[in-house]
Amino acid sequence: MTEQPTTPLVDSPVAWPVTATATPFTGKKTSVRSDEVRLPDGSLVHRDYQVHPGSVAVLALDDREHAVVIEQYRHPVRHRLWEIPAGLLDVPGENPLHAAQRELYEEAHVKAEDWRVLADIYTSPGGSDEAVRIFLARELSAAEGERFEVSDEEADMRHARVPVAELARGVLAGELHNSCLVAGVLAYQAAVAGAGLAALRPAESPWPARPFPS
């Protein structure tokens, strides 16, 4: 039987007991954890998942509502994906706004004066604990100094500025697949159509998934 909620839907934190755990793989930035979890009925199941430091992403819009995007090769999916600037939190407890400003500079050589939170997402909660905070950045200008030196896949990146409406069309047409781009673009359109951008959360809003000092 389907229940009709009487209050707005809100995700709730809860932790089922872990009776045993192991880390069979540890990589440079992430690891794999294997937990034995006790379900509410008392039975035990095993769950393997990626342990991730967390990420930030930036939907950076200029005064024409063109978004800064980059094309990057992603080996696990064997695709070049158009994405918005994004990157890992470098250290536990890192301020996500500072991380987002760094990534926008490093990947696009751009800075922004106006920052707000668009959305907080778990990218794949069935198999990873990765949490991403997606920011909206506006009032763009070129960053000062030399461009950040890139390597590996980043050395092959292409850059573009594309109308955000065109990105939304590409998402709905199944042509653009990067999770941060999809969530950021659709959240932006929802904000514009709803309460407006002024109603978005401030850039320094708490982030329970990856707490940081205020």
What amino acid positions are annotated as catalytic residues? 154
Helix axis angle, 179-193 to 164-172, nearest 10°: 120
Q: Side by side, which strands form the sheet with 131-142?
A: 86-88, 55-60, 131-142, 110-122, 201-202
Distances in whole angstroms, Cα of residue 65 to Cα of each of 27, 58, 163, 200: 39, 14, 6, 17
For residues 74 and 153, what is the distance between their CA atoms, to the nearest angstrom?
8
